[in-house]
Every structure is written in C-alpha cells, then in structure tokens.
Amino acid sequence: MTELFAQPPALSAYLFLAALLFSIGLYGVFSRKNTIAILISVELMANAVNINLAAFARYSGDMVGQSFALFSIALTVAEVVIGLAIVILLYRSHKSIEASAPTELRG
C-alpha cells in the first residue's frame, strides 16, 4: 500500500477523476426530476472543475490556480443559495419541486 502512495498520482489521474465527477453531475442534471438533486449534481460538476484547477496549479507549480479554486468554492456556495431560493419559489408556485412541473413556456 505504501508504494502506491510513495509517488504522488500523475496529473492524468486527477483529470480522470474530475471528468468522471463532471459526467456524473451532468447525467444527474439531465436525468433527475427533483430540483434539489439537480442542484447537487450541479455541485458535483462545479467541484470537478475545482479539482481541475487545483491539479493544474500543483502540476505547474503556480499557486494562483489553488486560490482561484477557493474563490470558486465561495461562488458555488452563493449559487447554491440562489438555487435553493428558486426551489422554494418553485414549490410555492407549483406545489412541487419537480423540474417538469413548470410548463408555462411550452409552445
């Protein structure tokens, strides 16, 4: 086991993880009906990006990317707040938090 962690993982491993997380998030956004689940999926996608930022920063030895990731996390929190507010308003107006509930824009 120790050999396994003796060397830091290669950059590609982080990128692979980030891509996996992003894809899972994307799938969640498309497939879940519950808007809170969709929000969580969006969080996954955002964090996939954060991992990318941190990984590239470490790889290039430039810490700007890591500090950027911190910014990004803070922004994501704000985004979640707005998203949850939308969910609450959706519930008030449609008595449901399903993403398919509002259909007013159907042609």
Which residues have C-beta within 8 Å of that of residue 101, sequence separation ≥ 6? 90, 94
Q: Please, what is the minimum distance in Å from the beta carbon of residue 42 to another protein?
A: 10
Q: What is the Cα–Cα distance from 65 to 55, expressed in whole angstroms? A: 8
80 binds another protein (CB under 8 A): no
Q: What is the Cα–Cα distance from 93 to 99, expressed in whole angstroms? A: 13
Closer of 37 and 57 to another protein (Cβ): 37
Closer of 28 and 65 to another protein (Cβ): 28
Q: What is the Cα–Cα distance from 46 to 77, expressed in whole angstroms? A: 10
40 binds another protein (CB under 8 A): no
Q: Which residues bind another protein (CB under 8 A)?
A: 26, 29-30, 38, 99-100, 102-107
